[in-house]
Amino acid sequence: MSIEQEVKKRRTFGIISHPDAGKTTLTEKLLLFGGAIRSAGTVKGKKTGKFATSDWMKVEQERGISVTSSVMQFDFDGFKINILDTPGHEDFSEDTYRTLMAVDSAVMVIDAAKGIEPQTLKLFKVCRMRGIPIFTFINKLDRVGKEPFELLEEIEETLDIETYPMTWPIGMGPSFFGIINRKDKTINPFKEDELLQLNDDYSLESPHPIEADSAFQNALEEFMLVEEAGDEFDADKIATGDLTPVFFGSALSTFGIEEFLDTYVDFAPSPMPRNTTEESKVAPTDEAFRGFIFKIQANMDPRHRDRIAFLRVVSGKFERGMDTTLARTSKKHKITRATMFMADDKETVNEAYAGDIIGLYDTGNFQIGDTLYGQNGKVTFEALPQFTPELFMKVSAKNVMKQKHFYKGIEQLVQEGAIQYYKTVHTNQPILGAVGQLQFEVFEHRMKHEYNTDIIMEPIGKKIARWVENQDDIKDAMSTSRSNLVLDRYDNKVFLFENEFATRWFSEKYPEIKLYNLL
């Protein structure tokens, strides 16, 4: 098969959701559809037992959880679909955001009873910034939840995106009868096998007792309203992330998933071109192999301290044993060990194409954001964005004699993208910034085990970090306990504000200081 054909059949997405909305269940059911797993309950993660955040490293080492569930590939209808895991709450970190830099589309799972929740919103914003298509799966229709119109309104208003329901639910909870598929006006009943068909005038083609049900009549009226007054279907708007196709279903009951997949493969983009620092784009069908590293997983196997670097293939064909060049150092790396991940298995990859994610065994050569290229492929991809951290800790070495190790560890872990580094302006007190609590724990663990340094961390809590455009206008007096001035790793001035109120107060008092945030 040609590279073009291989690229055309690939789809790569991440699921964005708030914990408990049903991401794991949906992933599992998607894999079941693709035959990638034999029975539900095998997607590793919380289903194999709950664990506290502090157990993370141990559990990770024992089971390789985040490796096996980080990337999964399955086949559906001739397509090769890659799901990239974007961990939820206790796992939440910059990794989660960066993973969204490696997908071409996102699937947003919403609990019908809860609507948009904070984590969904955060992750959504990252997708929106990239302008990638977002598909919405409203889950748990087998339970009583919010009314469908209320949910659509909430999505539109909270997320500022148009909605286009591809299916429409009939009832919910105990009275959930099924969904109407807008494409062909069939009704897929929740508890029966046979599809029902709607006529053009919205009557049922063949009589069914459900017609007498008020929930059914109500749903039909809503459906007609959606057809007549709802947003118009617009594939271009889907492509730019301005309109989200919405599906209703129940992941747990494997219901509404096929309807979702059918549409998803039609309207989700195949692997997209990617920007380089040379201001040209790399097309996925380009002959030369290229990819970039978006995640590094350390300490997979406690006996060999190797790491796995996750590389997203951007163009060409990856072949095992090939020679590649690392753009940052211009050094050659022969890739003899690469893995691809199935739900309950890792496999050695022999070849991969744009959209695929491969795991490269790394002995410390790679960094987050690195570009690798094969013959005739010399490029450097645009750097991955830095994200605005929300949580901060003061950090110091427990043993002052270990300062050298301490700073070396910080430097390397910061380069790797594990954590962000700041320091106070006059006293150079190191401060760590993170988007998720887990990053601090990983940092502490790795400092101890890889750099042999015990550290003391003192939380300074949630802060609003704002960078400054006109750095020279900053005066010492502007730094207070509520607007603490620090320097980032590039010595840029950054204010850490106590809260929104302090941010506003500052902007009013010093209108000449132009503040901005990163992503």
- Nearer to ligand G4P by Cβ, of 80 and 146: the residue is 146
Segment interacting with ligand G4P, rule: CB under 6 A, options 135-143, 308-316, 430-438, 495-503: 135-143
Residues 251-290: x/- map of binding to ligand G4P (CB under 6 A)? xxx-------------------------------------
Least Å distance between CB 15 and ligand G4P?
A: 8
Name which position in 10, 13, 14, 17 contacts ligand G4P (CB under 6 A). Answer: 17
Q: How far apart are CA 135 and CA 109, in angstroms?
A: 9
Q: Has 88 been labeled as part of a binding site? A: yes
Closest CA relative to residue 384, chosen from 129, 20, 83, 85: 129
Q: How far apart are CA 460 and CA 273, in angstroms?
A: 41
The answer to the question of residue 14 lying near ligand G4P (CB under 6 A) is: no
Q: Has 87 been labeled as part of a binding site? A: yes
Residues in Cβ contact with 120 at an 8 Å cutoff, skipping those fewer than 6 apart: 16, 17, 18, 21, 108, 110
Q: Has 470 been labeled as part of a binding site? A: no
- Nearer to ligand G4P by Cβ, of 139 and 244: the residue is 139
- Cα 452 to the center of its chain, rounded Å: 32
The answer to the question of residue 139 lying near ligand G4P (CB under 6 A) is: yes
Residue with tokens 């107060």, as numbered in its chain: 505
Q: How far apart are CA 151 and CA 145, in angstroms?
A: 9
- What is the four-CA torsion angle of 128, 132, 135, 138, rounded to 10 degrees? -20
Which residue blocks in 310-428 are alpha helix, DSSP H?
403-416
- Nearer to ligand G4P by Cβ, of 43 and 513: the residue is 43
- Nearer to ligand G4P by Cβ, of 43 and 57: the residue is 43
- Nearer to ligand G4P by Cβ, of 137 and 318: the residue is 137
Segment interacting with ligand G4P, rule: CB under 6 A, options 136-144, 233-241, 427-435, 495-503: 136-144
The answer to the question of residue 142 lying near ligand G4P (CB under 6 A) is: yes
β-partners of residue 432 are 393, 421
Amino acid at 212: A
The answer to the question of residue 24 lying near ligand G4P (CB under 6 A) is: yes
Q: Has 262 been labeled as part of a binding site? A: no
Q: Other CB atoms closer than 10 Å to residue 440's CB: what's the count? A: 23
Tokens representing residue 476 in the block: 């010492």
The answer to the question of residue 19 lying near ligand G4P (CB under 6 A) is: yes
Residue with tokens 């269940």, as numbered in its chain: 25
Name which position in 21, 261, 434, 455 contacts ligand G4P (CB under 6 A). Answer: 21
Residues in Cβ contact with 383 at an 8 Å cutoff, skipping those fewer than 6 apart: 277, 369
Segment interacting with ligand G4P, rule: CB under 6 A, options 23-31, 233-241, 337-345, 350-358: 23-31
Q: Has 20 been labeled as part of a binding site? A: yes
- Nearer to ligand G4P by Cβ, of 170 and 464: the residue is 170
Q: Has 142 been labeled as part of a binding site? A: yes
State the DSSP code for 37: S
Q: Of 211-250, which residues contact ligand G4P (CB under 6 A)?
A: 250
Q: How far apart are CA 188 and CA 179, in angstroms?
A: 5
- Positions in the binding site for ligand G4P (CB under 6 A): 17, 19-25, 46, 88, 139-140, 142-143, 250-253
